[in-house]
């Protein structure tokens, strides 16, 4: 192989290697940006989940359930004469 052919081959390999490095850095930046967006979305979902757990715990309070049953459903404790005990 002549000196010029070897020089051209090495030059082409160097150019291709440079383009590959540039493309790899570009792809890395794109993926890093996507990762940051996904992490922000995850953090927002974690916050929303925590808020929903707090809300669920609040609504599960027995006093609130009793109040909602009495006001909205017009439920009340049965009178003693309406209570039937079933035994074997």
The string of pLDDT tens digits covering residues 36-82 is: 999 999 999 999 999 999 999 988 888 888 888 888 888 888 888 88
* pLDDT tens-digit map of 11-40: 999 999 999 999 999 999 999 999 999 999
Look at residue 23 in the predicted model and tell me its pLDDT. Answer: 97
What pLDDT is stored for residue 17 in this prediction? 97
Q: Which of 82, 49, 56 is nearest to 65 (CA)?
A: 56
pLDDT at 67: 87
**pLDDT, position 50:** 97
């Amino acid at each position: 192989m002549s000196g010029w052919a070897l020089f051209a081959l090495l030059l082409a390999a160097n150019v291709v290697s440079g383009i590959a490095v540039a493309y790899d850095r570009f792809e890395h930046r794109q993926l890093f940006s996507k990762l940051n967006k996904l992490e922000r979305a995850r953090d927002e979902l974690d916050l929303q989940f925590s808020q929903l757990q707090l809300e669920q715990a609040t609504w599960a309070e027995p006093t609130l359930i009793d109040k909602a049953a009495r006001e909205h459903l017009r439920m009340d404790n049965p009178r003693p004469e309406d209570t039937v005990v079933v035994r074997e």
